[in-house]
Chain A
Amino acid sequence: MPAAAKPKAKPPARGASKKGAARKRAAPAASLAGALAEAAWAEADLALAEALAYLDEAQGAGDQAAYADVLELVAQSLSRAARKRGLARLGKLGAREAYDANLHDLNGAGSRPPKTVRVEARGVARGGDVLVKTRVGRLGAPKRP
C-alpha cells in the first residue's frame, strides 16, 4: 500500500515565527521547573492541609494542655510542608552568632550594630536564597517571650 501524501503545513502568520521560536526555546526549562514544583507541592499540599485542620482543632481546644498538644502537630505539619518545598531553617535558637546584616534582622534599637547577637527566631532559606532573615537580639537584652 503506497504511503499517504503528507498534508502541506499551513504557513505561519506574519511575525509569529520569531515569537513562536522564542517560546519553544523558553518552554522546556519553564515546564520542567513547573513539573518539579508540582512534584514537590503534591506532598507539601497534604502537609499544609493537615496543618489547617489541626489549626481549627487548636482554636477550639478546651484547655492549655490540649492547645499545646495540637499546636505541636500544627508546627510539625508546617515543618514538613516547608521541607517538601526545599525550605530550611537557618541557625539554632538561642545560639550566639557574629552579626551579619545580610542574614540577621536585629530586634531592638541601638545606634551601633553589635558584634555578636543571640538567635531569637530562626530564619528560612531555600538553597542559597534567604527568604526570611534570622531574628536576633543584642546580648544582655531581655529575652522576648
Chain B
Amino acid sequence: MTDWTLCIDFGTAYSKAAAAPADAWSRFEPSMVRPLMLSGHHHHGNPFLLDSAVFVDEGRVLFGRAAIARADALGDKKRMALKSFKTLLSVSDLDRALNTNAPLSIDPHRIFQMRDLIVLYLAFLLEAVEQACAADTLVAGATRMSRRYAAPAWRSGDSAGMHQVIVQLFGEAEAFRALVGKKLMSPDGLPLSTISSALPKALANARAMDIGLIFEATAAAAYTSVGLEDAGSHLIVVDMGAGTTDIAALARVGARTIELPEARVTMKQAGDFIDRIIANLVIENASWARSKDDQSELWNVLMRQMRDIKESVFADGRATLRHRGKNITLSMRDIERDADFKAFYKNLSEAFAHGLMVVRGDAVLRGQTEVQAIAVGGGAAAPFIQGLLKKKTTRATPRVVARPATPDWAHAREFQGNLAPVFPQLAISIGGALAPDDMLAARGGVSPVAAVRTDIEAAPD
C-alpha cells in the first residue's frame, strides 16, 4: 500500500491528525488506521494531541505545550497565548479577522497580525505532522499522500470561499516551514529575528497546496459507517463542542455524500454554556461561599476541574468536588431542573426534531427505510444528547438507529483495548482520513497569491 490519505483536525484546544490507506473505505482494515503522534517529541501527556496555542514571548515565539506553559507562568502579567484558531477561522468576515492586529495581551511587540500567528501555528502543525508521519513505519512508506482538513460547515454558507482562504494560509505555512524546518519543533520556539526574516518571504511565496476540506459531520459519518454492511444512506449528527452545538444531516447519493442544508442548525449554547450552568448551581448551593472573593475562588476551582466534573455527572449521574475540605455534590437532576438548561434543552430538542424531519423526509423520497443518528464532540456522552438520539419517533418508518459514539471497530483486537478510550478525541481526524474523495466538501488548492494586509487595529484587550 503506497497511497495514503491524511486528515488534519485543528480543534479549539488541540490539533489532531490521522492517516489511512487511500482505499480504506472499500477495503477497511482497522489496524491500518494510524492516528499520528503529533506530540511524540514530548515525554509526558497524550502524544496524539498537539496544543493549539502560540505565545509571543520577549524575543521568541513558542508553540503548543511550551506556549501554554509560558502563558501560565506569566498569567499574572496579563499575557495570553493565542488559542481557539478554529473559532477565528469560522467567523463570517474571515479576511477582516485575519488582517486584524493581534491584541496587546497576545503580542506586546505589536508586530503580528492574526494571520501571521495562524500561519506560524499552521507551520508548526505541518512540521509536527511531517515528523509524526516519518516516525510511523507504515505511513512513512507512503509514496503519495493526499491531504485534507476537517472543519465545521461554515456558518456563512460560502464553503468554497472560506476554503480558498484556508488553503492560502496552509500554503503560506508550508512555505514558512520549508524555510525554517525542524527548528519549529524546538521547545524554545523560534527567535523573533528568524520569523522577521522568513515570514515575509513565506507570505510572498506561498506554496500551492493540494488539500481538501471535509465537514466534521461527514467525517463522523465516515468513521461510523466504514466497514459496515448495513451502513445506511442517511445520517443525522449532533455535534456539541465548546462554543456551538451543530446539527447536520447527510445523505449518500450514489458514491457521493451530500449535506442536507435545510436540516442544519447551529446553536450558540454548547459545552461552555453547560459549564456556566454547573458553576452557577454549585456556587448557589455553597452556603459558605457568600463573599465575592470566595465565589470567585470557587468559580476558578470549578472551571479548572470542569471536564472531570462533567464527565462524572454524565457517566455516573453525579459528581463530588472537594474544596476547602468540604464536599460539594452536583447531580444530573440538579442540572435538568435549571431554568437555563430547560430552555436550552427545549431549543435543542426542537432543532433535532427539525433535522430529523428533514433527513427522514429525504430518506423517504429516496426509498430508504433507516436513518442513523450519532453524537460527536465533547458533549457526545451527555445523557440528554444520547436521550435525544434514542427518543422514539411518532412514525415507525424510516426508523432511527442510534449509533455508538465509539464505533465497534475501535475495539478491534489489534488495538489491545487502547484505541477506544481515546477515540472520541481523535474521531474527526480518523473519520476524515477514512472518507473517500466523494465525501469531500471542497477539493484541491489555489494558485498562491500574496496576502493582502490592511492593518486593521485590534479591538481593546
Contacts and interface: CB of A to CB of B under 8 A. Distances in A.
B419 interface: yes
B311 interface: yes
A86 B47 CA distance: 18
B421 interface: yes
A33 interface: yes
B136 interface: yes
A100 interface: no
Contact of B31 (A29, A34, A72): A29
Contacts of A38: 46-47
Interface stretch (B103-111, B120-128, B408-416): B408-416
A85 B418 CA distance: 7
B352 interface: no
Contacts of B415: 32-33, 36
A84 interface: yes
13 contacts: A31-B137, A32-B35, A35-B48, A36-B35, A36-B48, A38-B46, A39-B47, A39-B48, A73-B320, A76-B312, A79-B312, A83-B311, A86-B418
B214 to A, nearest CB: 23
A49 interface: no
Given A33-B415, A38-B47, A42-B46, A80 B327 contact: no
B1 interface: no
A32 B34 contact: yes
A70 to B, nearest CB: 8
Contacts of A33: 414-416, 418-419
Contact of B320 (A35, A76, A85, A127): A76
B421 A83 contact: yes
Contacts of A83: 311, 315, 421
Nearest to B410: A127
Given A31-B137, A35-B48, A79-B316, 11 more contacts: A33-B414, A42-B46, A43-B46, A72-B327, A73-B322, A76-B319, A83-B311, A83-B315, A85-B417, A127-B411, A129-B417
A33 B76 CA distance: 40
Contact of B414 (A27, A29, A37): A29
Interface residue tally on B, bucketed by range: 20 to 34
A126 B417 contact: yes
Contacts of B457: none
B311 A127 contact: no
State the majority secondary structure of interface residues on B.
mixed
A129 B411 CA distance: 10
B60 to A, nearest CB: 27
State the majority secondary structure of interface residues on A.
helix
A129 B415 CA distance: 13
Interface string B57-70: 00000000000000
Contact of B419 (A31, A36, A79): A36
B395 interface: no
Nearest to B44: A42
A40 interface: yes
B411 to A, nearest CB: 3
Contacts of B136: 28, 32
A128 interface: yes
A24 interface: yes
A55 to B, nearest CB: 14
Nearest to A27: B137
B138 interface: yes
B262 interface: no
A69 interface: yes
B237 to A, nearest CB: 23
Contacts of B411: 126-128
Contact of B418 (A37, A72, A73): A37
B308 interface: yes
A128 B308 CA distance: 26
Interface in A53-112: 69, 72-73, 76, 79-80, 83-86
Interface in B402-441: 411, 414-422
B327 A73 contact: yes
B315 A39 contact: no
Nearest to B414: A29
B422 A36 contact: yes
A72 B418 CA distance: 27
B417 A39 contact: no
B367 interface: no
Contacts of A69: 327
Nearest to B137: A28
Contacts of A80: 308, 311-312
A35 to B, nearest CB: 5
Given A29-B31, A73-B322, A127-B420, A39 B137 contact: no
Nearest 3 Cβ contacts at the A-B interface: A127-B411, A86-B421, A36-B418
B203 interface: no
A79 B315 contact: yes
